[in-house]
């Protein structure tokens, strides 16, 4: 498929924003795991995002680093979460209620965060683009983040990328 330069730039920008939005966490306080901490990417245990995008028939963006940040810092208190990725800080309420977020470039994204058992699920949608991120503690000091992207305008099938993080001591 051929896309205009503007469409490709908008798509790359949208994925970057959704990836950043996807780093949300929490919905009820009681039995939910505490994801707080500084998490560092374990590249050896993580998927290659470029390969995954190509498998789905897409063309990787020029800088796919946003798909797997080297580090994330999560602050969790009750049903509120603050996620830091570099200089960017995002706050979420994980009550399962959809919230519209203006993300720049004329895009508005509807974001919902909620717990499903011990797994946090964050969904973001805008038009035909859908982005879903799950967070789950998968071992002592290990956080697995799985992102699933769907966009029939740019991908022949959904892309799923799994990244593993180790808690910094």
Tokens representing 64? 């796919």
Report d(CA 112, CA 100) in Å as an integer: 9
pLDDT at 130: 92
Q: What are phi and psi of 155, to 5 degrees?
A: -125, 140
| CA proximity to 85, closest of 12, 6, 11, 145 | 145
Q: What is the mean pLDDT of residues 100-127?
A: 88
Confidence category of residue 152, pLDDT binned at 50, 70, 90: confident
- Range among 56-70, 81-95, 107-121 with highest mean pLDDT value: 107-121
> Which residue ranges form the domains of the chain, and what is each CATH number?
5-167 (2.40.128.20)
| DSSP character string of 71-119 | EEEEEEETTEEEEEETTEEEEEE-SS--EEEEEETTEEEEEEEEEETTE
Mean pLDDT of 64-92: 83
Rounded distance, CA 160 to CA 157, Å? 10
10-19, 58-67, 105-114, 135-144: range with lowest mean pLDDT: 10-19
* Tokens linked to 50: 């470029």
pLDDT at residue 4, as a whole number:
53
Between 149 and 60, residue with greater pLDDT = 149
pLDDT of residue 116: 92
**pLDDT tens readout for residues 3-36:** 555 455 555 555 555 555 554 433 334 568 999 9
Q: What are phi and psi of 95, to 5 degrees?
A: -100, 10
Q: Mean pLDDT lowest for which of 52-56, 64-68, 83-87, 141-145?
A: 64-68
DSSP 10-63: HHHHHHHHHHHHT----S-STT-----EEEEE-GGGS--HHHHHHHTT----S-
How many CB atoms are closer than 10 A to CB 168? 11
Could you give the count of Cα atoms lying within 13 Å of 82 in the half-sphere of its Cβ? 7
Average pLDDT, integer, range 59-74: 75
């Amino acid at each position: 498929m051929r896309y205009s330069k503007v469409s490709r730039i908008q798509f790359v920008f949208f994925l970057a924003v959704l990836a950043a939005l996807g780093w949300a966490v929490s919905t009820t306080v009681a039995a939910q795991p505490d994801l707080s901490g500084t998490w560092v990417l374990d590249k050896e245990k993580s998927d290659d995002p470029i390969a995954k995008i190509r498998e789905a028939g897409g063309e990787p963006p020029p800088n796919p680093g946003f798909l797997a940040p080297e580090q994330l810092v999560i602050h969790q208190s009750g049903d509120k979460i603050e996620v830091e990725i570099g200089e960017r800080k995002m706050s979420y309420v994980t009550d399962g209620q959809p919230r519209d977020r203006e993300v720049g470039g004329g895009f508005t994204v509807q974001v919902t965060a909620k717990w499903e058992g011990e797994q946090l699920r964050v969904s973001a949608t805008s038009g035909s683009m859908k982005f879903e991120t799950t967070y789950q503690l998968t071992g002592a000091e290990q956080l697995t983040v799985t992102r699933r992207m769907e966009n029939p305008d740019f991908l022949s099938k959904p892309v799923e990328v799994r990244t593993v993080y180790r808690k910094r001591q």
